[in-house]
Amino acid sequence: MMTTRSNPAVIPAASDDKSLEKPFIKCLVRLIRAEDTYGRWRGKCDVELLDNFTVPEDQRRAIPIIGDPDPYVLWRLKTFYTAVGLGKERSDLLVSRTMEISQEGFGRVLLTTKRLVLLSKTLRDVHRFGFNNLRKCAKTGTQLVSDAVQVIEAYPDLARS
Amino acid sequence: MMTTRSNPAVIPAASDDKSLEKPFIKCLVRLIRAEDTYGRWRGKCDVELLDNFTVPEDQRRAIPIIGDPDPYVLWRLKTFYTAVGLGKERSDLLVSRTMEISQEGFGRVLLTTKRLVLLSKTLRDVHRFGFNNLRKCAKTGTQLVSDAVQVIEAYPDLARS
């Protein structure tokens, strides 16, 4: 499911190692490794695996938004929002992710638990999904998790009903 | 988007005309006609349009559930649940439908309004989606609408927050 880029620019990004300690990034790495059925990425470090989520802005801008979104991008998008959902599961709640993306790369992602919508986000130009760097990825994910935790705290009965 | 079946067995089904008067079925017909951009179905009566949603049980059973679901079936499924969502909009609420179906024909459909989940349904074997007859279709749709209306009544603040 993952592109194997032998990008030598990856290793300097390891200076981002403060981001690697973030609970959200750890969760994301755990999710990616969970899909490694045949152990092909066992030799790869976390930074290499997360490299899929960081695409420099100029490279992103060069991706055409015409045609079907790349299946790899859809996989990344799903993994990212599943990680956001998992981030909230530190409580006793089960969070499910539902994502509908049209062939043109527009759509919506919902995170729900019981009768409560924790996150509802319109997605567009998903062809170009990615973050400038790992720090940005960690920040966005952590923010989404904390937003959703606030929603749970605002409607505790509903999240458990 | 629709199969043009010239099925002579359609006309006797018009004896189902009590179902045709149901608000849910009217809503469904309105939705189907809204997609008729070029007026190709203008000459067709409602029963003919609704024929797509009724598939006798033995025919349904004969549909293989291996491989990608037929795009027509997915379109019917979307239209059906959109009609359920529309059925609730008699109130001032805006309902959105989000559907995620895997390539194997499993998935989930969600109807939400603001922070409230009105309907969350697991779908399986969507290849075989259809109703034995129009009466069954009207009954199922009307039931789903009234279930969701009950949810709105139970959490009125949340549906409008």
Q: What is the pLDDT of residues A35-44, one digit of tens each?
A: 889 989 999 9
Residue A116 and residue B117: Cβ atoms within 8 Å? yes
Residues 88-107 of A with CB under 8 A from B: 96, 98-100
* pLDDT tens digit sequence for B75-134: 999 999 999 998 876 567 889 999 999 888 899 999 998 899 999 999 988 999 999 999
Of the candidates A98, A108, A158, the beta carbon closest to that of B155 is on: A158
Chain A residue with Cα closest to B108:
A98
**The two three-digit tokens of residue B19, written as one number:** 């179902």
pLDDT greater than 60 at residue A3: no
B115 and A CB contact within 8 Å: yes
Q: What is the pLDDT of residues B35-69, one digit of tens each?
A: 889 989 999 999 999 988 999 999 998 988 888 88
Q: Structural domains in chain B?
A: 13-160 (1.10.3100.20)
Question: For residue B3, what pLDDT is reported?
Answer: 46
Which of the four pLDDT bands, split at 50, 70 and 90, describes residue B5?
A: very low
Q: Between chain A and chain B, how many beta carbons pairs sit less than 8 Å apart? A: 39
Give the one of B115, B120, B151 whose C-beta lies nearest to A151's C-beta: B115
Closest CA to A98 of B101, B143, B53: B101
CB contact under 8 A, A114 and B117: yes
The pLDDT confidence band at residue A89, using thresholds 50, 70 and 90, is low
H helix intervals, B35-133: 46-50, 57-61, 71-87
Partner-chain residue, chosen from A100, A114, A155, that has the shortest CB–CB distance to B98: A100
Average pLDDT rounded to a whole number, residues B25-38: 92
At A58-87, the pLDDT tens digits run 998 898 888 888 888 999 999 999 999 988
Find the residue in A nearest to B96 (Cα): A108
The reply to whether residue B108 touches residue A98, judged by beta carbons under 8 angstroms, is: yes
Q: Which residues contact B58 (CB under 8 A, 6 or more apart)?
A: none
* ipTM greater than 0.95: no
